[in-house]
Amino acid sequence: MHSTTFPSRSASASRPSIFTILEVAGADRWSPEAIEAHKAAELAKVPPSRLYPYQPLINGLILDAKEVCLYAVVFSLIGIALVGAVAFWDLLQSWGLPGQLLYWSSVICLSGAAIGAAALTVLTIIGKIRIRTPAYWSEVRLVTYHRDPKAPYPSEAEALVKAVRALVPGCSFTVESLWQGTVLLDPVLWFHDETDTVHVPIKVWGKDGTIIRPTA
């Protein structure tokens, strides 16, 4: 978990407070307690599905069932072909096979193929349903500011990054995001000073790009 590191008093005495500089640039002032409470609250909003612990078992059962259905379709189609061949030869050789036997054999094979294909389709659809996995916070270095349609960075955060870089040469930024599977939930923009000893959250927003302000 990311920790907030404040500059020492000696460092603050030799230059303007880094918090003053960040606030001038437009940063929100999140306390360590506030940011950790926010992250914990957001994590609690997205618990994993109750089915998540059984996901390997469910996937295995679906795979086995799909194999059974596939075999049922294949053997049913083979049965239809055999019944058709027998009926054809019966006409040529005049074997006199009972018509009811051929009829019901065809019905059984066709029903098996239809049921197997329908079950296979249903199982394929069920297999595509995603079970909610545990959410987690992940941090990446912000090298260049870019806009990703899947992870919108609000214009306010973009302007803040540019302003802080102009005021604090050599600083860097990271974005810590809450992910659940491949779904981005809540990003946190972190400031790092030029020595990488001061780490401060300066902007938080939701997955839709709406800025989240620190609570009093």
Where are the extended beta strands (E) located within the chain? 136-142, 172-180, 183-192, 199-205, 211-212
In this prediction, residue 5 carries a pLDDT of 55
In this prediction, residue 80 carries a pLDDT of 81
In this prediction, the residues of the chain whose per-residue pLDDT falls under 70 are 1-16, 88-99, 102, 143-152, 216
Q: Are the beta carbons of 171 and 193 closer than 8 angstroms?
A: yes
In this prediction, residue 12 carries a pLDDT of 41
In this prediction, residue 131 carries a pLDDT of 85
In this prediction, residue 10 carries a pLDDT of 41
Q: What is the pLDDT of residues 129-169, one digit of tens each?
A: 888 899 999 888 876 555 555 555 788 888 999 999 999 88
Q: Which residues of 1-27 are buried (b: 16+ CB within 10 A; e: fewer)?
A: eeebebbeeeeeeeeeebbebbeebeb
